[in-house]
Structure 1
Amino acid sequence: MTEELLVVRAQLGERAALAELVRVWHVPVWTYVRRMLDAARADDVTQEVWLAVVRGLPRLREPGRFAPWLFTIARRAVIDRLREEYGEAERIPDGEPVMDDPVEAATDRAALVTALSGLPVLEREILVLFYLEDLSLEDCAQICRIPPGTVKSRLSRARRLLRDHLTERGFQP
């Protein structure tokens, strides 16, 4: 069954179709959110995303564009959480430092995750959407509400920043 048909069936109230959409898209959404936030916050934000999807699904006009619509909702949820926390951080100086997971710290993948988390949010977001979620330039542009040319320039800057960050840590390009 095609994704578009699943979306239409879910819009009509079929619970099994909605459950299948969640089954197919839960991990990609959680992974995106996790790459933008830490693990502790990813579960909560992902639940907020699915709640927004359930509420907004009947208003989705183009069922064939479900993935960009879904990641737009996920992006908004991440941005809302970051805004909330940045506001709290301004009110609470010298908060506790975030500790890395010691198991992940031993792997090259953890170095990449750490390097990604060290990038500015806009550049990190573009790298995650384009390379890790395999979305097209056009889909990234739609999700981030920016022109495709801006996506390209952010990708270029993000790749350079990531390369510089990894080089500083001793990794060879």
Structure 2
Amino acid sequence: MQQAEEELLVLAAQDGDNRAFQRLFQRYQSALLRYGYKVSGDPQIAQDGTQEAWFRLARNIRQLDDPKAFKSWMYQLVHWSCIDLLKKTSGSELQLDQSDVVPEVSDNKSEQQESLNAAINRLPALEKQMIHLFYLEEMSVRQVAQVLRISEGTVKSRLNRARRLLKERFDV
């Protein structure tokens, strides 16, 4: 979906167009579920957190001032909905997902791909989330910062650190 088309859909959804909202839902639902799982490590929490995020989004979409911020706003809603559910269900400190950030690929993947996946898996949880959002979800530094509620400078430095760690571990 083109950025301009997405912005038009957001504006239409803000005006009460249910079909526009449904198209946004269809476009992002599976990616948001995957991200919810990356945050929580639990498929049920990912499902519930994503559903809660869509409810919040539907209730508050008119409050979004800039349609360009829609994607990062959605990811932020999923992120914090899943974290809230984790806190409620665990009753303890948040345990971030340690699973792969890189999607699974077929058995014939190269040794380089396997080495890269292993190196990414050894990154700290926050850096893995940033790699996921920045490279796989193709978010900007600003969007990643909004989702994770950290400064853009922190995102840049942590992404740089993650790339440096990958370079060292991957022997690039």
Query: TM-score scaled to structure 2, two decimals?
Result: 0.71
**Per-residue deviation, 1:132:** 1.4
Whole-Å Cα distance in 2 between the matches of residues 114 and 78 of structure 1? 25
In the alignment, does 2:16 pair up with 1:13?
Answer: yes
Change in 2 beyond 3 A, CA 1:119/1:62: same
In the alignment, does 2:31 pair up with 1:42?
Answer: no
Whole-Å Cα distance in 1 between the matches of residues 91 and 125 of structure 2? 16
Q: Letter of the aligned partner of 2:30 in structure 1?
A: V
In the alignment, does 2:25 pair up with 1:25?
Answer: no
Percent identical among aligned pairs is 37
Superposition map of 1:17-96 within 5 A: 17-40=20-43, 41-88=45-92
Q: Letter of the aligned partner of 2:28 in structure 1?
A: W
In the alignment, does 2:153 pair up with 1:146?
Answer: no
Cross-structure match for 1:93:
none
Contact 2:39-2:83 within 8 A present in 1 as well: no
Change in 2 beyond 3 A, CA 1:78/1:135: same
Change in 2 beyond 3 A, CA 1:133/1:10: same
RMSD over equivalenced CA pairs, Å: 3.4
Q: Letter of the aligned partner of 1:52 in structure 2?
A: R
Whole-Å Cα distance in 2 between the matches of residues 39 and 152 of structure 1? 28
Query: TM-score scaled to structure 1, two decimals?
Result: 0.71
Q: Letter of the aligned partner of 2:146 in structure 1?
A: Q
| CA shift digits 1:123-146 (9 cap, x unpaired) | 222111111111011221232232
Whole-Å Cα distance in 1 between the matches of residues 152 and 161 of structure 2? 14
**Per-residue deviation, 1:113:** 7.1
What stretches of structure 1 of length at least 5 have no aligned partner?
A: 91-103
Contact 1:6-1:18 within 8 A present in 2 as well: yes
User: Residue 2 of structure 1 aligns to a residue in which SS?
Assistant: helix
**Per-residue deviation, 1:36:** 2.1
Cross-structure match for 2:100:
none
Change in 2 beyond 3 A, CA 1:39/1:119: same
What stretches of structure 2 of length at least 5 have no aligned partner?
A: 95-103
